[in-house]
Structure 1
Amino acid sequence: MMAEPVGNDGALVLLSGGQDSATCLAWALERFGRIETLGFEYGQRHRVELDCRASIRTGLGAIDGAWADRLGPDHTLALDALAQVSDTALTRDAEITLGANGLPNTFVPGRNLLFLTFAAALATRRGLRHIVGGMCETDYSGYPDCRDDTIKALQVALNLGMDARFVLHTPLMWIDKAQTWAMAERLGGAPLVTLIRDESHSCYLGDRTHRHAWGFGCGTCPACDLRRSGWERYRAGVSHA
């Protein structure tokens, strides 16, 4: 059963077009009275994810009329400078490897810090206090800007620097990909699972020509591996244990 929204509180959801952010959008639609979404174009190799955002929003509205009523404007911001200052496999045509620092070269330094800072600035203008992101410490590649400590520290910094009372929500922080699929099922049943499987995009290479049981992607990059293994464990019922 859908929970009652938290009064008239509004939330801004970081919607990349991927599985995690689509699930977070459904999570927010269940909890807040009005929702706006924000995506970033930063020269990402898998820019096709941005093209998935509209169908995700439309599909969520079709699943639940109350969600459609709560879903407000969508925003996209260009952060081209991020690609200019980074040298990563997400912003360059480069092979995905492990760097000397122990992090995969898909890590874009400062990305989530910038995303949340710009989100807070937009939320200020739009009168939104809650900011929702899909950062996760459980199924991730060791990115330091996905850690819970990072998000908590940034919430403090944003509230001090903007003299605000923002709340940064990360509903996926302590769950894995199988549990993320299960969360989607709890929120919107089979229709939401199907929507996220078919319309969201995770593949780092931007491949939407190969269709798999778990969705579109190259099938070999780290993002596809995580999504596939999570789907298989979800379908096997592991996430319900």
Structure 2
Amino acid sequence: MSEIDPNRTKSALVLFSGGQDSATCLAWALERFDRVETVGFDYGQRHAVEMQARLDVRDGMVKVLPQWADRLGPDHVVDLTGYGKIADSALTAERAIEMDERGLPTTFVPGRNLVFLTCAAALADRRGLEVLVGGMCETDYSGYPDCRRDTIEAMAQALSLGLDKPVVIDTPLMHLTKAQTWELADRIGGAALVELIVEVSHTCYLGDREHRHAWGYGCGDCPACELRAAGHAEWAAGQ
């Protein structure tokens, strides 16, 4: 990852779900950009806890990173519930979490990141925001083809053509492991930011906010929890 460029662009729109990855990306963006806004998507996900986590993480972020609190601008929510109904998955319907006939997890929402990026690019255009920031990661990803670097680069090109202007998509976690994502959060905001991510962010596919682990709340068994737990254990072992 490159050092902070003093001639960097000045504004960013963070695709913000309220999970570990997007929380880390929000902190990363606040460190780098003078103006940062967030956008979330209500696509009919089964667990409303995700939408609440977004608000709680944003509120906590200005407290644990007060030096950049004035950089955090408005939050936006896009209603994509109609899309969620056609993109049937274990995240939007009562389905078992397993591998499908294509070898993809049933938590895969077809085209989700493509739709999110399109909506975010349109919003950024109208808001005058220069960079889209997303938490997509192909190193530790859960089998989602729309998290791959090739997909994101192709989307940037398509959006640039469609909007007749350069569209920059920054994915700071793309080549990081989950352990390195914890390390990045620690570097940016120290123990306070790590604690915020542990206590407030939400990643569990089953929406579990009852069981508290060293790495945060979750069922501990779904793929998202397993990735988060393994990454935290690896990071903690190196402290």
Q: Same fold (TM over 0.5)?
A: yes
Q: Which residue of 1 aligns with 2:210?
A: 209
Instruction: State the distance in 2 between where 1:191 and 1:5 align.
Output: 26
Pairing 1:99-110 to 2, within 5 Å after superposition: 99-110=100-111
Deviation at 1:101, TM superposition (A): 0.0
Judged with a 3 Å threshold, the aligned counterparts in structure 2 of structure 1 residues 5 and 24 are, in CA distance, closer, same or farther, namely farther
Q: Which residue of 1 aligns with 2:225?
A: 224
Structure 1, 18-27 or 85-94: larger mean CA deviation:
85-94
TM-score (norm 2): 0.95
Q: Which residue of 2 aligns with 1:159?
A: 160
1:171 equivalent in alignment to 2:172: yes
Pairing 1:37-186 to 2, within 5 Å after superposition: 37-186=38-187
Deviation at 1:227, TM superposition (A): 0.6
Partner deviation per Cα, 1:100-136 (whole Å, 9 max, x = no partner): 0000100000100000000000001100110000000
Structure 1, 29-38 or 62-71: larger mean CA deviation:
62-71
Matched residue SS, 1:207 = coil
Matched residue SS, 1:52 = helix
1:29 equivalent in alignment to 2:30: yes
Runs of 4+ residues deviating >6 angstroms: none
8 Å CA contact 2:9–2:130 kept in 1: the answer is no
Alignment-mate amino acid for residue 125 of structure 1: R
TM-align CA RMSD = 1.5
Instruction: State the distance in 1 between where 2:161 and 2:17 align.
Output: 27
Deviation at 1:4, TM superposition (A): 7.4
8 Å CA contact 1:6–1:33 kept in 2: the answer is no
Partner deviation per Cα, 1:10-32 (whole Å, 9 max, x = no partner): 10001101000000000000111
Instruction: State the distance in 1 between where 2:221 and 2:107 align.
Output: 14
Partner deviation per Cα, 1:162-211 (whole Å, 9 max, x = no partner): 11212100000001111000000000001000000110000001111111
8 Å CA contact 1:10–1:128 kept in 2: the answer is yes
Report percent identity of matched pairs.
Answer: 61
Deviation at 1:60, TM superposition (A): 1.4
Judged with a 3 Å threshold, the aligned counterparts in structure 2 of structure 1 residues 4 and 59 are, in CA distance, closer, same or farther, namely farther
Instruction: State the distance in 2 between where 1:40 and 1:232 align.
Output: 30
1:200 equivalent in alignment to 2:206: no
Structure 1, 38-47 or 26-35: larger mean CA deviation:
38-47
Q: Where does structure 1 lack aligned partners over 5 or more consecutive residues?
A: none
Instruction: State the distance in 2 between where 1:148 and 1:46 align.
Output: 28
Aligned length: 237
Q: Which residue of 1 aligns with 2:14?
A: 13
